[in-house]
Chains A and B, each alone.
Chain A
Amino acid sequence: MSNLDRRVQRTRKLLQDAMMQLIREKGYDAITVQDILDRANIGRATFYAHYQSKEDLFLAHHDDLVLTVGLEPLTAEQLLSPDPPPSLVAFLELLGHNRSLYQVIIHSRDSDRIRQGLRAAVSVNLADCLQSGFEKAVSHMPLDALTEYLASAQLALIDWWLNQRTPYTAQQIATMLHQLRRAALQEAFALD
């Protein structure tokens, strides 16, 4: 790799990190290009040499957003607890505070790919937990099918929530989603 390439990469990484930090701090809507420049300590001309807009910056690095979204490892206890795991609430709050980001995603050319990335992240998160947390129980449904079921159901519900102007808060959605998921797991593994 030449020095130039490395410098380009470093600049991009700085901008991307700044944006991700800001998304978590104040939500995508409220961020201006100036905020990103200030945070990354990078000049305006440099920014526009790499990206056309903040949408462009985001779309160039969405894979990293999915990874930093904070899908923390789940345990069986968390899935079967009466209350939703804090990581699920935090995940939904992040999405809820970034509705316009979601609109950017679903109207972008990359829409299908981004959703597949998010889907894969949610699937892996659940699969890890089902494999390690429920090893003694036998599922009525093949584990990979059950994982798909839970991941897709979750994302379909989130899609609905973010797309419609529903009055529900992230906490309420997390609670209802958790209840549906928990009931399905209890039936799948015949738990009481």
Chain B
Amino acid sequence: MTQKVDRRIQRTRQLLHKALIELIMEKPYDQITVQDILDRANIGRATFYAHFPDKDALLLGGMDEDHFDIRLYLDEAEIAVDEGKLLPCYSLFRHAQQFYPLYKAMLGGNGIEMVKKAFHKHLVHAIEQRIKRYAPTVSLPLPLVSHYLAGALMSLIIWWLDHEMPHSPEEMDTMVQQIVMLGLERLSHEQS
């Protein structure tokens, strides 16, 4: 019985989230109202507020759902292709390519600041894990390097989205790994 209820709750959340994602691709986030979401999802106002206090909560909560999970690509299985690298770059660009309109609406130059901040935080965390694992000898303070690299990677995704993907994910990955990885290695050598 409880399982059935859980499933219903999950379904409602998915419908709301899917509606919001569709709307984000159609018009600026600021202009989307809760009413728009309700109309699109065909769900009542009371139900919406039983799940989320506002549309921001729906958006950030929705990042756990499977339609657009910006954390998903950071999961171990998904990033196996980036094994051994400091930045989960290839998997990220590939994911962004696959969900291009959505990534552009969320992270592009006119994207949603709230999403950018959340995304930046995820990147910082992922990069710290990787530095600990793959480059424990980096001589600069860990959070300093992780924030620096997360900022760098964010800006490249934004640049790439705004320029309508001028390079393939492979090419972006090569560029980034070359400059970032070799740059850090160079730094370690200079200081040792």
Contacts and interface: CB of A to CB of B under 8 A. Distances in A.
Contacts of B120: 156
Given A149-B155, A164-B143, A179-B140, A141 B148 contact: no
Interface of A is mostly: helix
B1 to A, nearest CB: 47
23 contacts: A140-B175, A141-B179, A149-B155, A153-B149, A153-B152, A154-B148, A154-B151, A156-B120, A156-B147, A157-B144, A157-B148, A160-B144, A160-B147, A161-B144, A166-B143, A168-B141, A179-B187, A180-B145, A183-B184, A183-B186, A184-B152, A187-B178, A187-B186
A79 to B, nearest CB: 13
Interface residues of A, number: 33
Contact of A140 (B140, B179, B187, B190): B179
Given A144-B159, A184-B183, A177 B143 contact: no
A151 interface: yes
A164 to B, nearest CB: 7
Contacts of A186: 183, 186
A110 interface: no
A153 B151 contact: yes
Given A145-B159, A148-B158, A152-B154, A184 B180 contact: yes
Contacts of B182: 187
A77 to B, nearest CB: 18
Interface residues of B, number: 30
B113 interface: yes
Nearest to B181: A187
Nearest to A167: B141
A155 B151 contact: yes
A144 B163 CA distance: 11
B80 interface: no
A188 interface: yes
A29 interface: no
B89 interface: no
Nearest to A175: B140
B75 to A, nearest CB: 23
A80 B182 CA distance: 16
Given A184-B180, A187-B183, A157 B151 contact: yes
B78 to A, nearest CB: 24
Residue of B145, B179, B180, B183 with most chain A CB atoms under a 10 A cut-off? B179
Interface string A117-154: 00000000000000000000000111011101111111
